[in-house]
Structure formats: C-alpha cells, structure tokens
Amino acid sequence: MKKIFLSMALLLGMHTVFAQTANRPNVLIIYTDDLGYGDLSCNGARIVPTPHIDRLAQNGINFSNAHATASTCTPSRYSLLTGRYAWRKEGTNILPGDANLVIPTNITTLPKVFQQAGYLTGVVGKWHLGLGNRSPVDWNREVTPGPREVGFNYSFIFPATADRVPTIFMENQQALGLEKNDPIAVDYRKAFPGELTGKAHPELLKQHNDPRQGHDGHIVNGIGRIGFMKGGRRSEWTDEELGYVFSNKALDFIDRSMKEKKPFFLYYAIHNIHVPRMPGTAFKGKSKLGYRGDVILEMDHSVGVMMNALKERGLLRNTVVIFSSDNGPVLNDGYLDQSAETAAALDHRPGGIYRGGKYSAFEAGTRVPFIVQWPARVAAGKRSAALVSQVDLMASFASLLGVRLPAGEFTDSRDYLTTLLGKSSRDRNFIIEQPGNHALSIVKDGWKYMTPSKGPALMSAVNIETGYSAQDQLYNLKKDPGERVNLAGKYPQRVQELKALLKRTMEE
C-alpha cells in the first residue's frame, strides 16, 4: 500500500509532500565561533573532553586539512553562505553591529540552493553579515534585507557578535519582545546620555574587559561591549542563556520542518566559544581551563542536544551533519577571563600543531575542525587528509540535490561532493587563505605561499603571531606543518608559480 502511494505520488510529481529522502537529506551545519583545530579531544585535546563532537567524528569523517576562507568571522561566513571569496567584495571585514547587509540579495546562496530543492531553510545563532540597507539601521521595525533575502525562511539571531551592540535577539528580522515605549538606538561613536558604560563604571562589571582592547561601552548583564546602545531592554539577552535559547529555537525549527513535511537546511551558528565567554550556569567551573574551557563543554553539549533530538525524531540516519568553525582560536580577545593563563599552565594548544590563530595568516587561522556525518551514505570512523574548503559547500550541495547553479554567475564554489562524503580523497585544486590584513596566502599540493605585507609579526594584545612579513614566505606543509622553515629562497620557481596562480585567481 505504502509502495503504491509512493509511486503514485512520484508519478504525480508530488515529491514535495515527502520530508527528507535519500536524495534530499536534512542538512545541519553546526558552525562554531573561534574554535581551534586543537580544541577537540578527537583532534588531540587532552584537558577538556568533547564527547559529543568526538562521537560525530566516530560516526562520520574527521577532516584534518579543512579550511575556512578567512581567519576572521564575517569573511568566512560570507564565503560559506555565498560560495565566494570575501576578498572579492569590499566591506566584508569584521563588521560593526550596525552595518548593512553585505551579501547581495540577487545572487545564488547556499540557503537558496536548498530552497530551490524544496527545503525549509533556517539560521539560528550568530549572524554578523549586516542587516538592512539604510544607515542608521532602524531597530524598531522589521530590518530588511536580512537573512530572509539571503535565502532563510526562518531566522533567530543576534545581529553581530556577543561582544558588540546591539545586544539583542531578533526573530525573523524583528527585535524580540521589543516594547514600544523602550525604542532601541545604537551608536558606535559615543555613549548615550545617562547610559552606564564599562569605562565609567568598572564596578558594575562581573567580567572585566582588557583595557588595551576596549569592550568598555554598553553594559548588559554585567559585561561591557563594543559600542553604545539604549532602549530595547526586553530584547536583550542574558549570556548564560544563549546556548539554551539557541538550542530551543533550533529544535523548534526542525519540528516545524517536520510539520510542514519538508526536509530542512539549518545553519546553526553557535555563539560559543567567542568572547565574552560566559558559560551557562550548569557549565561554570566545570573545566580545568577557566571560562574558555567551560564554554567548550557547553558548545559540545549543544551538539549533543541536537544529535539526541535528531535521534528521538528518527532523523539521525538521513541528516547530513557538518561541524566546523569560522576561524582559528584566540585566548585573550578582549576580556580578562584567565583563558591564556589556564591554557599555558596546562599546555592546552587550541591550534594544535599549527602556528598562529585567529586573525593570522599562519595555518591555525583557517585550518578548522571539520566533521561530516551522514549515517545513510557516509562510512563511519574515517579520517581524511584531503584539502577542503568551506567555500565549496554551495556547489557540492547543489550537485547532491541536482540544483543547477546559474551558468552566467561567477562563484568560487566547486563541486567536491565525493571528497566531502569520503568517496574520494581528492584535494581541492588549491585554496586561498585571508588573514586580518588581506595579505592572501595560497596552498597547493602541500605548499603554501604567503604574500609579503607590512604589519606587526605579533598582535601583542591578543598574543597571536600574524605571519606578516616583508619577505616572500613558502612553507612545505607536509614536512613542516608548523611553518617554521621559510623555503622561499630555496625554491624561487615554486614561489613564482604560486604567486602567478594567486594573481590569476584574484583577477578572475
């Protein structure tokens, strides 16, 4: 009977009445913030265990050479969602919280690919890609364009980062629970009269900012932020609840997709482990690495919540889960939360064997955790050393779903589905890495060429080696993954080849 119904439905072209199928699995991208390659126990971390993420790796493929396109947030997310390198587009550096949307609304995006295939699409968590098209943004009405125009049917987000204003939740592009008599205003230059700031009132802070790095503006929940704000008190978040709130909204979205009998695409952009690190109450003091360790535990728990929920709903087998991070790790990113001290004391290396970190041109900047689990189609317990880039998810999913990307539209995204599903170990032909100062690096066949640039070799406030140098740099990543021996002088030919390839690609 079931069979007859099925074939009838197919004959009638009624495939949209079915939820996920083998060719249209649910897709969950769990995208964490500032998590280093070496922060996971499945990648060698010893001090803080990440059992839920380790289980993902055991049931799927753990990639050791996967990359975000940049070592900061906005450009990496831009690439993930658009399949384009961010350095091709101006204004895609780390955005202030009152920036306008940086993704053009008339281009193909990752969520639009899923929409074309009949999916319900959603984003829950951190956005940081700008909102609206007018400055200043009016936070007291629906702000558009935003996630909807980028291809998300549903959004529950905070606009930028947890350490900058506006410190509010937004659901479907409206401030959550906003009261008419408490309108929101945001300013990145000066405090509002009567507003208490971290700078003027350090005695009100429960989490102290690093005076060298600012974060001493608007106070919410006893934590100073970047920028100033007034009003919107009922829309503001409590940091300790962020994990819980986002988990719940993510689950509600999955339930909605089941009700609507559509497969889902959920971009679950977990706020952890970015600063200000303020673990939920249940996680405070649970790790040996201070708040940074505690929020790693919380982040891992969030993954467990999702995996359990998929299991309970019978969705585990045919859901593709991708776990990754937007850029490499940082310890002191603006708050004095003992992360650097505890990591040093216990020799925890968030970047693993890789040099540098967030903002950096060295490998730890973009080499991020990347795990793919899909029980129905991907073999369990594999590791892959293939070179992969987040920029390719758009073309690879388009290929899986049989969606054709418009022929006349240029993107950087390429179909590496077979590599991503572990059917092949084919490397991406090459990748380009973007550090904070835009001096690009190119990696091909295990060789990395770094463009010379001005700028400090060390970002002293965050204590991260940038990799910036006035000289050409060439590293053999296979023999020297820690980028210690510059071989540019020894192999000028290879330098020229990589330089030329980088130049050609930039001009495309």
In angstroms, what is the minimal distance from the CB of 430 to ligand NG6?
A: 24
Lookup result for tokens 């689950």: 251
CA gap 56, 180 in Å, rounded: 45
Residue 92, classified by CB atoms within 10 Å of its CB into exposed (0-12), middle (13-18) or buried (19+), is buried
The greatest distance separating any two alpha carbons of the chain, rounded to the nearest whole angstrom, comes to 72
Any contact of residue 239 with Ca ion (CB under 5 A)? no
CA 222 to chain centre: 26
The answer to whether 396 contacts Ca ion (rule: CB under 5 A) is: no
Nearest distance, CB of residue 507 and Ca ion, angstroms: 29
Q: Is 353 in the site for ligand NG6 (CB under 6 A)?
A: no
Q: Which of 319, 327, 434, 466 binds Ca ion (CB under 5 A)?
A: 327
Separation of alpha carbons 428 and 81, rounded Å: 18
* Residue 128 in the binding site for ligand NG6 (CB under 6 A): yes
Residue 342 in contact with residue 40, Cβ under 8 Å?
no
Report if residue 33 touches Ca ion, rule: CB under 5 A.
Answer: yes
- From the list ligand NG6, Ca ion, none, which binds 428 (C-beta under 5 to 8 Å, kind-based)? none
Shortest gap between Cβ of 38 and ligand NG6 (angstroms)?
17
- Which among ligand NG6, Ca ion, none contacts residue 94 (Cβ within 5 to 8 A by kind)? ligand NG6
Choose one: 245-253, 326-334, 401-409, 466-474; the region binding ligand NG6 (CB under 6 A): 326-334
| Positions 40 through 79 that interact with Ca ion (CB under 5 A) | 73
DSSP character for 437?
Answer: T
Nearer to ligand NG6, 294 or 333 (CB): 333
CB of 179 to Ca ion, least distance (A): 32
Cβ 125 to ligand NG6 shortest distance, Å: 12
Question: Taking contact as CB under 5 A, which single stretch among the options 1-9, 59-67, 283-291, 322-330 is the one that binds Ca ion?
Answer: 322-330
Q: Give residue number: closest CB to ligand NG6.
A: 73
Other Cβ atoms within 10 Å of 405 Cβ, number: 17
CA distances from 350 to 45, 204, 407 (A): 8, 31, 41
Please identify which residue in 129, 226, 431, 450 interacts with ligand NG6, judged by CB under 6 A: 226
Residues 273-302 contacting ligand NG6, CB under 6 A: 274-275
What is the footprint of ligand NG6 within residues 95-124 (CB under 6 A)? none
CA within 13 Å, CB half, 133? 8
Closest distance between ligand NG6 and the C-beta of residue 466, in Å?
Answer: 14
CB neighbours of 72 closer than 8 A, spacing ≥ 6? 93, 94, 326, 327, 358, 359, 436
On whether the CB atoms of residues 391 and 412 are closer than 8 A, the answer is: yes
Asked if 154 and 145 count as a contact pair (C-beta separation under 8 A), the reply is no
Regarding 72 and contact with ligand NG6 (CB under 6 A), the answer is yes
**Cis amide leading into 166 (omega within 30):** yes
Residue 76 interface partner, choices ligand NG6, Ca ion, none, CB cut-off 5-8 Å depending on type: none
20, 34, 53, 473: which one binds ligand NG6 (CB under 6 A): 34
Which range in 30-38, 185-193, 461-469, 482-490 contacts Ca ion by CB under 5 A?
Answer: 30-38
Contacts 24+ apart (CB under 8 A), 495-504: 495/449, 498/442, 498/444, 498/447, 498/449, 498/474, 499/449, 499/451, 499/472, 501/430, 501/442, 501/444, 502/432, 502/440, 502/442, 502/449, 502/451
Is-contact 157 176, C-beta < 8 A?
A: no
Q: Interface residues with ligand NG6 (CB under 6 A)?
A: 33-34, 72-73, 94, 128, 161, 163, 213-214, 226, 274-275, 327, 333-334
Q: Interface residues with Ca ion (CB under 5 A)?
A: 33-34, 73, 326-327
